[in-house]
Amino acid sequence: MNQIFKYVFTTIISFTIIGCSHSPRTVQAEVPLIEELTLIEGQLIPNQYWATLNTPENSMLSHERFNIQLEPLYTSGLGNRCRKLLIETKLLTNKKTIQRIACERKTNKKNKLDHSITSLPWVLTRDIIIQSISINL
């Protein structure tokens, strides 16, 4: 019994020493898990509103048909800057607030002539809930 214990103990220690003496193999990923540029689908917001959406201090967006309250800027899971919009129609008597998300669309086009571009295009993302009121900015 003592000899079997000695043999098992020696084997376990030997495998432990051999296993710890080699570093794990290095793996290189050849296929990216996500695309570098993911375009957000949705309605393009007119460029007159981009500066307002880009400025974190702004909490309201002026529009002739809607009262639009802007929530704070946040970074989405895809790395885009986004804002929640609380939209209320000015024309209807029964005011209903609709929540929508607007995100800055990253582009792969670089303007070499104009380095003063401070705003990227913003899009109103598709609504996952069908509303009775159509929102077109």
pTM value?
A: 0.58
Q: Where are the beta strands (DSSP E) in 7-96?
A: 42-44, 60-62, 66-70, 74-75, 81-89
Weakly modelled stretches of the chain, pLDDT under 50 = 111-117
Measured CA to CA, the distance from residue 99 to residue 81 in angstroms comes to: 17
Q: Which residues contact 106 (CB under 8 A, 6 or more apart)?
A: 37, 38, 39, 79, 80, 120
Q: Could you report the per-residue pLDDT of 55-80, keeping only the tens digit for each? A: 888 888 888 888 889 999 999 887 88
